[in-house]
Amino acid sequence: MDAFRVHEQLIQDYRSFTEGFVEIQDQRIRQHVEQQAAQGAQWPPPWLALNPAFAPGGRIDELVAGGLLHPECERIFRPKRTVEDTGEVPITLHRHQRDAVEVARTGSSYVLTTGTGSGKSLAYIAPIVDRVLREGSGAGIKAVVVYPMNALANSQREELAKFLTHGYGEGDEPVTFARYTGQEDDETRRQILSHPPDILLTNYVMLELMLTRPEERRSLVRAAEGLRFLVLDELHTYRGRQGADVAMLVRRVRESCQAHDTLQCIGTSATMASGDTQAEQRVEVARVASQIFGTTVAAEHVITETLVRATTTRAPDPTSLRQAVRARGDAESDDPVLKAGFDALRADPLASWVEDTFGITQEPSTGTLIRRTPTTVERAAATLAELAGVAKDNCAIAIRATLLAGSRTMNPLTGRPLFAFRLHQFLSKGGTVFTTLEPDGSRPIESEFQVELPGERRLFPLAFCRECGQEYLMARRQLRDGHDAVFTARHALRPADDHDGYLFVSDDHEWPVDPIAESRLPATWIAQTSSGSQVVPARRDDVPRRYRVRPDATGAPAGGATPPTVWSRRGSRERSASACAAVSPTRRCAATSSASS
């Protein structure tokens, strides 16, 4: 898969989606909005994070041979694609996953704080499965895994099925598990209550209910007596009042399950504490986890990731980088290095530069390899262009080509790609266009709001007719002495009361003194009487009013002065027709929408 092409298509689809809501009639405003879109105002360049390579911790069969895991784990923890697939080779653990297995065997509570894509789930699933296998399945609930969102519980259930269901016949699963989050139907719920699983996946709200509902207490809580594991996934989400609630819940679980001497608490988190060094972060994470778990978590039991470099060339010189950039050509390049295999690509100087730029760096005080803060391809390309003396655009193409080649080139020993990267794209709903009360052809058009521009020129946000694209200034009117008025910017699209409305300024479509005579009002607003055409009583307050308004937004009724500024009180979809009629007697405005820029 080409992640960059997927991203490009995503932006194109989102741009088409957002632009479909607003049709802008004014050419200058339309060009401004199009220019903002072309510059990526709603979709800035994505941040790119490279998953670093982790130090190996040994294959599952090696841990079995060393007595760290039950022999059945060798059959369980294998890559399996289908229910019938028994897997070929046991998976290889990362160093931090092995560290977690070793700490778990001591019975101590621990926290795994490693980055995204580091396999945190396996760091607690493997110890739990090992304990169930050693003590025997079907002897009650041995582990409760708590997720902050049901989506995470659903995902984990699918992953557990690949290990504990695939490769085994129905009813022959070595370890049982079930999700109990409130999404289950009655039959599934009764099955779980009557036959509690070894591993229960839930959320903290449902765990609270298990402790209070009589039926769950009789079944699940009783089955969890002597509970061995309580896992809080995404531990960093429990903070403030919610963190206090969860901390009290952990203590109640320990009490209800009579697990004071048996319970081992485990937490996982990608980001949980800040600090100058990993050692300082461990101390802070241990302090917070101890408060939540109600038991001591030692700093040495806060497990962090151990990183290694995937590439072999260090500190490539500018000449070799320049040659590599020119050799890439483009993302579809035939540069033989990109297709020469794992060993050739990991020795490539540009691949090494990419890993150091997007993936890893050294902790200044200790020299420990840590993850690098994500950056954009555009920023990295500018740095590479200055270093190698090559055009920025060529550098950007070469960087993307190298990343894609690395994602497709697999390590023959681990089966993992040389590079695994993610694009983080931020999308905004769109901004607002602002302008002043000056004439159409000379008024400024702004994307950043401020109260006024130099010269006491008030700025107002614009709204647009969804049918014809006519623009209106969103305003609130404050009357003075019953006649003069001051207008202020209104930022909520929906009018709140009769003081909210819209201002219409036009050089060539002036609102007439007598809109009835010039057929500028909707037909539904007009009634024929013995004295001629009249506005129906229910619509008299909605007829647009002519004002002579200065750029500082102060004004007075315009009378016959031209060109006037028109005030329209539009509190409903039908009322909006009157203001749009100011443009043309044949136009009818269905609704208004704010502009995206």
Q: What is the DSSP string of 455-480?
A: TTEE-EEEEEETTT--EEEEEEEEEE
Ordered structural domains, the chain, with CATH: 94-306 (3.40.50.300), 308-424 (no CATH), 434-594 (no CATH)
How sure is the predictor about 157, in pLDDT bands with cuts at 50, 70 and 90?
very high
Copy the structure tokens of residue 23: 């049709």
pLDDT at 334: 64
- pLDDT confidence of residue 333: 65
Q: Answer yes or no: are the C-beta atoms of 402 and 387 closer than 8 Å.
A: no
CA distance 366 to 369: 9
- pLDDT (tens digit per residue) in 486-537: 999 998 888 888 889 999 888 777 788 888 888 888 888 899 888 888 888 8
Residue 592 has pLDDT above 70, yes or no: no
For 403-417, the pLDDT digits (tens) are: 999 999 998 887 889
Dist. CA 567–CA 584, nearest whole Å: 17
Q: What is the pLDDT, as a whole number, of residue 162?
A: 92
Alpha-carbon torsion (111, 116, 119, 122), positive or negative: positive
Contact 525, 578 (CB under 8 A): yes
- For residue 330, pLDDT over 80 is answered with no
Rama region for 228: left / alpha / beta (φ>0; ψ in -120 to 50; rest) = alpha
Percent of the residues in the chain that have a pLDDT greater than 70, as a whole number:
93
Between CA 512 and CA 515 the distance in angstroms is 5
Residue 595's Cβ-side half-sphere holds a number of Cα atoms within 13 Å equal to 33
- pLDDT digits 0-9 by tens, 50-67: 999 999 999 999 999 999
Measured CA to CA, the distance from residue 461 to residue 471 in angstroms comes to 10
Describe the chain by its helix, strand, coil percentages, rounded to 5. 35, 20, 45
- Range name among 201-205, 486-490, 540-544, 589-593 with the lowest pLDDT average: 589-593
Confidence at 561, pLDDT banded by 50, 70, 90: low
Mean per-residue pLDDT over the chain, rounded: 87
Strand bridging mode 360-362 / 369-371: antiparallel
Closest to 592 in 3D by CA, of 477, 452, 432: 432
The length of the chain in residues reads: 597
Cis bond leading into 71, ω under 30°?
no
Beta carbons of 235 and 289 less than 8 angstroms apart: yes
233 Cβ neighbours under 8 A, 6+ residues apart: 120, 121, 145, 146, 147, 148, 152, 156, 267, 268
Alpha helices by DSSP H, 304-348: 318-328, 342-346
What is the reported pLDDT for 419?
92
**How far is Cα 389 from Cα 322, in angstroms, rounded to an integer?**
7
